[in-house]
Amino acid sequence: MQKPLTAVAAAGIRKSFGKDEAAIHVIRNLDFSLPEGRFEAVMGPSGSGKSTLLHLVAGLLAPDAGAIRIGAQDLTGMSDRDATVFRRRHVGLIFQDYNLIPTLTAEENIALPLLLDRRRDDGGRVASLMDALGIAARRRHFPAALSGGERQRVAIARALVGKPTVVLADEPTGNLDSPAAQDFCALMKRLNAETGCAILMVTHDPVVAAAAERIHILRDGRFMDSFETQGSPARVAERYLDAMRAE
């Protein structure tokens, strides 16, 4: 049988900050894989290492031990420069504060990854993403003139413009009210189905997490549980609390 293809594969990864007695072991011998095209989420208490894990997967941080692969590419031992280029082409990032460039318009922010890579926007991908995300009328607006939800849509379009293997989202609904968070979930499900990009999302919210197919629960730098959401926030909340209560 052919091996299923993975968007992300991490084996035996460890990450500590600080030295000797002061060292904080944030990620402890973690194995993880995300199949191609899947939408999965990571939940865990504050400080459990969720953002650190995403930064490792994005190649923004290097693990102390273990290996991380995105598609067929091993990130281990890549130079910073190569990792930057690789990330731009294969990884889409959506952070809570969006990190848009204030002096560029919505359209320019979205096109930036292509521009930095000297890639042309063949097939009008920027325009079609803006249409799909309902922000075409905001094309020439600067981030300061956009609402929170619109800014986030610009960040989503920017993450998707390069047709990444995987989109990593760190608490993407942290600044949104619940209707906007629900819109975000519906949108991510649709984009996941339409573009086939894998998604790995960190969230604290069981309702948001239930948009994903599977949840991984991180506690003290280890995965405590992993389960299919079946689209049920109640199931997610229950399993999450069980994992927090476990010894």
**Interface residue list for ligand ATP (CB under 6 A):** 17, 24, 26, 44, 46-52
State which residue, 66 or 71, has the beta carbon closest to ligand ATP.
66
Q: Which does residue 173 touch among ligand ATP, Mg ion, none (CB within 5 to 8 A, set by kind)?
A: none
Q: Which does residue 48 touch among Mg ion, ligand ATP, none (CB within 5 to 8 A, set by kind)?
A: ligand ATP
- Which residues pair with residue 15 across a beta bridge? 27
Give the span between the Cα atoms of 120 and 118, in whole angstroms: 7
Closest separation between CB of residue 170 and ligand ATP, Å?
7
- The string of DSSP letters for 156-216 reads HHHHHTT--SEEEEESTTTTS-HHHHHHHHHHHHHHHHHH--EEEEE-S-HHHHTTSSEEE
Among 14-22, 48-56, 213-221, 236-244, the segment contacting Mg ion (CB under 5 A): 48-56
Amino acid at residue number 243 = A
State which residue, 197 or 218, has the beta carbon closest to ligand ATP.
218
State which residue, 9 or 26, has the beta carbon closest to ligand ATP.
26
Note whether 192 binds Mg ion by CB under 5 A: no
CA-to-CA dists, residue 71 to 56, 208, 227, angstroms: 15, 26, 23
* φ/ψ (deg, to 5) at 139: -45, -50
Note whether 51 binds Mg ion by CB under 5 A: yes
Closest separation between CB of residue 104 and ligand ATP, Å?
27
Give the span between the Cα atoms of 75 and 86, in whole angstroms: 9
Closest separation between CB of residue 168 and Mg ion, Å?
12
Closest separation between CB of residue 55 and ligand ATP, Å?
8
Give the span between the Cα atoms of 66 and 76, in whole angstroms: 8
